[in-house]
Amino acid sequence: MTPGFAERLAGERLGGVILLASNIGTPEEVSEFVAAIQGTNPAWPPLVAVDQEGGLVARLPGDPAPSAPELGLLPPEAIAAWAAERAAFVAGFGFDVNFAPVADIAFGPASFMAGRTFGADPERVSEAVAAYVVGVVGSGVIHCAKHFPGHGRPSVDSHLALPEVALSMEEWRETDGLPFAAAIDAGVPMVMLGHLRYRAWDDLPTSISPVAVGVLRNELGFDGVITTDDLGMAALVEYDPLTVVDLAIAAGVDQLLYVTPAVPLADLIAHLVAEVEAGRVAEERIDVSLRRLLGLRGDDD
């Protein structure tokens, strides 16, 4: 751990920390790093997360399970078994969260998600996503279905620009929405919002859209944690970073994810605290999300 990092984490009291490929060393170093991060706040240890989808997105070397495209060819029982293997592998390092499975449908080779999904058929992908979620229940690692409401159609990389999707709500329900509904029915505890503009929904990116949150809560019946994708991605470059915080909170998002924040995290935190203290954001609104996040650890009293 670099000098000052532990003190920064203890001071900012972040709810979680994500490790990327640049943070990964030997297995022993990773385990020690994860434990050190968790030790910076004994009262409420930060949730330490990783993107271990397998295949193209695998931060940890030595993953025993096949990639999503390979898993998508297997029967549900085999998918569940391999998902459990990967979860045990991730748990072995001490991670609390794995941002997987991908619930997008790669409708063709031009899709930005090609090579990262269970396939191109909505029904088959839904079955695979549900099987994966069933396989990781009880693993001790929190899993997250992503990237709602579906990142499989655009070829645009949301790290670089905001993709747009021309799809009616009814078409979405019959295609891209099916794997997310399946994940929720199977008990997934977290869903990640992607950076996409679904014009039939509203003009806001879905990661900060009350419509997207409303579909999850009211139509799909999801009462778990809703997290954003990295809010520092270029997909949101047209929005002021503090406005992004305001819109995400107003939309009903529970967790704001940052890998490359445009301004220091301390400034983002101070802004939200000031909004609450000024009465522009109700403390009860924050408490609702806090209870969901505490519930991930089974500590929601």
Contact 115, 161 (CB under 8 A): no
User: What are the beta bridge partners of residue 9?
Assistant: none
**229 catalytic per annotation:** yes
Q: Which of 51, 96, 229, 254 is catalytic?
A: 229
Q: Is 51 a catalytic residue?
A: no
Q: What element of type H or E holds 144?
A: strand 142-148
Distance CA 80, CA 167 (A): 31
Please count the other Cβ atoms lying within 10 Å of the Cβ belonging to residue 241: 18
Q: Yes or no: say if 128 and 73 are a contact pair by the CB < 8 Å rule.
A: no
101: preceding bond cis by omega (within 30 degrees): yes
Q: Which of 247, 138, 135, 237 is nearest to 193 (CA)?
A: 247
Active-site residue identified among 159, 185, 267, 271: 159
> Are residues 248 and 285 in contact, defined by beta-carbon separation less than 8 angstroms?
no
Is residue 90 within 8 A of residue 50, CB to CB? The reply is yes
For tokens 């968790």, name the residue: 38
Secondary structure class of 247 (helix, strand, coil): helix
Cβ–Cβ < 8 Å for 206, 195: yes
Residues with active-site annotation: 159, 229
